[in-house]
Structure 1
C-alpha cells in the first residue's frame, strides 16, 4: 500500500544542485569529464565569464551553460578559483542569503550555496559579512586576496565563474550498503528527487533519533512524496513542516491511509521532513519527485500556477517601463486575487526588498489587467494620499507582502508579469 502526499512549494529561487541519497555507498574510482568550454581542475569543471552581470543574471547564465555559480568548499578550491579568474578584480561566487532579514549583520546560517547547501567553509575579508541593507545579500570574491564580501545583487555588475558537475565516468556499478541504524545521514539536502530511507534500512532503526531531511525545489514546482514502506515502531513520528518550523504541514505520518493532499509554503523553498524515533525496530522508505504545473502551457521564462503564467523580472524599472516590459509578452503587471496569490507573488520576489504589482489607486482603483479583484493587503497606515505619496502600488517583500502606494516614476523596482495560461 502506498501513502501519497503532494506538497506544493512556491520557491524563491532557482537552485541547480547535485542529487544526494541517504544510503551510504561503496564507490570505485571515478573520473570527471567536463562539458565543452569548461576547464578541468582537481576534479571540478570551471568556466569563467568576463562579461559583467548582476548576480541573478550571472546565475541564469551558468544555468543555461549547464552549471551553477561556483561553490567553494575548502582552501584547495579557493586557490584553484583564485588562480583561474586571476585577471579580474572581483567576481561573483555562488553564495547568497536565502532569508529576507531586512537589516543587520547576517550569520553563516543565513547563507546557502547555489546548490542549496549550507557553507562549511568561508573566507570573509575583515569585518565581513556586513549589514544586509547597506551591503547586500550576494557574495563576491576579491582577485587580490581571494577574500569574500557580501554586496548588493542588483547594484553590482561583475564577471563570474560557473561550475559544472561534469559527467562522472564510473568503471563499475555502485553497490549500496546499509547505513548505520543509529546515525542520521550526514547530507540532509535533497535537490533532484530520489529515495530517502530510515537509518539502517531495510533493517530497523535505533531508538531516540531525530533526523531532518530538507527537500529543495525550483519556483512553481510540486513535490510529491510516496511512502512505499511505512513500519513505524510505537511513538515514532514523521512530520512535514516548513523551513522555519513555525508551520506544520502534516502533524505526524502514522499510517498508510492518509489521502492525497496539497500544501502551500509561505516561508522558503525548503520543506523539512523530520523523523523522530521512539523505540527501536521500525523502518520506512519514501520516493520523492518534483513536478511543474502540467495543466497549463506557459511561454519560456514563465511559470504555471493555478491557471496563470508568472514571470519575475529582477530588472528595476519605473511602473510605466515595467508595464511595457510585460506588454511585450502580452502580459500585465500581476494582479492579486487573494491571500494565496499574494503569498505566491511575494515568494517570486525572492530576496528583493519590494516589487511592483498591477494596482493603481484613484477615485476607482484599477488593476492593470482589468481584474475585478477586491482583495487588498495594505500595510498599516496605507494607502496614503496619492497627491503626496503616489498612485502606484508596490509589494513590500520584507514586510511579508504588505502593500504601499508610492510614486510611479520616481522609483524603480523589480516586477512580476502575469498572463492567462493555455
Structure 2
C-alpha cells in the first residue's frame, strides 16, 4: 500500500511540474527547458533566451548534466550551447568562467584534453551522446542551444526586480544599464531618483555580470574613452570608495590604472575591448568629469 501511495504521489507531482511548462518544453527544477534547433553564435543564442525572459541553460551537477543531455538526444546527436562563458584566456581556472544566468560555475564535465582556450573569449558546448564538455569560439561557431525559461507558474509570481532591472542571484541585487550620454553626477542623480545608486562591484562574478549587462559587443577605437560605463567608484579624502557606502572589497583596475590622479577622480567599467588595449576589456579606468555612453544603477531586490 505504501508503495502504491508513493508511486501515485510521484506521478501526481510530475504531472503538476509538467503542466508548468509549455508544449515542447520539459520541467527543470522550477524552470523549463526549451531546445532550439536553429544554429546560432553564442551571444545571439543567449539573446534569444533572454527574449523569452530566460538564459542559456546552466548545469551544476552530474544529475543536471544527465537530464539536459538526455533531453537533447531526442533532437540531435551534435553539440549544443550551454550558458558557460569566459573572457579570460586561462580557461583551466574555474573562477574565470561564469554562467549567463548569474549562478556559480561549480561543476564541469570536460572531455579529454579540454578545456582549450579559444582566444580572448571561450564558450561551452556539450555533446549529448557522452555528456562531455569542450570549449568553442563564441563568435564564428554556430550551434543549436537550450534556453532555461521561467515556468508558467513562476511567470505569475512577483518579480525580484522593478521593470527594466535584472536580478543577479549571487548578490541579490537588481541592476539596470542606462544607455545615455551622461557625466558622473548626472548619472548618479538618475540612479538615486530611481531608488538606487551607481553600481558598486564586490567580486569578479559581479564584474563579469555587469560586463555582459552593459557591453555593446563592438570593439572601441583607440581614442574611444567616452564609450565606457560609469560605476559608483570615486576618489574622495585620498581614497577610492563606493558611493553606496559599501566597503571596498574588490578592485579590477586595468594595466597602469588608476593614473592622472590630479584630475581623474571617477571610475568607469570598460565593458568593450579597445583596439589597441584588449587587456583593458572588463577592467576599470579612472577618468575626469566627461560624458560616457552609459551607466549602471544598482538597487535592492524586491522581497
Q: TM-score, normalised by structure 1?
A: 0.40
Pairing 1:59–2:17 present: no
Contact 2:98 2:105 in 1 (8 A): yes
- Determine helix, strand or coil for the equivalent of 1:58: helix
Q: Which has the higher strand share?
A: 1
Residue matched to 2:106? 120
CA change 1:57–1:104 in 2 (3 A) is same
1:71-128 deviation line (CA, Å, top 9, x unaligned): 112222211111111123100001111xx43x33441111111211212222122232
- Report the CA distance between 1:243 and its aligned residue: 3.7
Q: Output the CA distance in 2 between the equivalents of 1:115 and 1:401.
A: 18
Contact 1:33 1:168 in 2 (8 A): yes
Out of 201, 207, 210, the position equivalent to 1:242 is 201
Residue matched to 1:186? none
Residue matched to 2:145? 160
Q: Output the CA distance in 2 between the equivalents of 1:116 and 1:105.
A: 18
Q: Output the CA distance in 1 between the equivalents of 2:281 and 2:42.
A: 23
Residue matched to 1:107? 93
Number of aligned pairs? 208
Residue matched to 1:192? 167
Residue matched to 2:286? none
CA change 1:313–1:121 in 2 (3 A) is closer
Pairing 1:96–2:19 present: no
Residue matched to 1:362? none
Pairing 1:137–2:95 present: no
- Determine helix, strand or coil for the equivalent of 1:52: strand
- Report the CA distance between 1:191 and its aligned residue: 5.2
Q: Output the CA distance in 2 between the equivalents of 1:137 and 1:340.
A: 27
Point out where structure 1 has 5 or more consecutive residues left out of the alignment.
1-29, 174-189, 195-211, 228-239, 246-264, 272-291, 293-302, 304-310, 317-332, 356-393, 403-417
- Determine helix, strand or coil for the equivalent of 1:155: coil
Pairing 1:69–2:56 present: yes
Residue matched to 1:383? none
1:356-397 deviation line (CA, Å, top 9, x unaligned): xxxxxxxxxxxxxxxxxxxxxxxxxxxxxxxxxxxxxx3543
Residue matched to 1:217? 175
Q: Output the CA distance in 2 between the equivalents of 1:92 and 1:165.
A: 19
Out of 241, 259, 279, the position equivalent to 1:398 is 279
Q: TM-score, normalised by structure 2?
A: 0.53
Pairing 1:33–2:20 present: yes
Contact 2:40 2:142 in 1 (8 A): yes
Out of 202, 216, 220, the position equivalent to 1:312 is 216
Contact 1:216 1:270 in 2 (8 A): no
CA change 1:84–1:213 in 2 (3 A) is closer
CA change 1:400–1:48 in 2 (3 A) is closer
Q: Output the CA distance in 2 between the equivalents of 1:335 and 1:396.
A: 8
Residue matched to 2:187? none
Contact 1:44 1:163 in 2 (8 A): yes
Contact 1:52 1:158 in 2 (8 A): yes
CA change 1:121–1:52 in 2 (3 A) is same
RMSD: 4.5
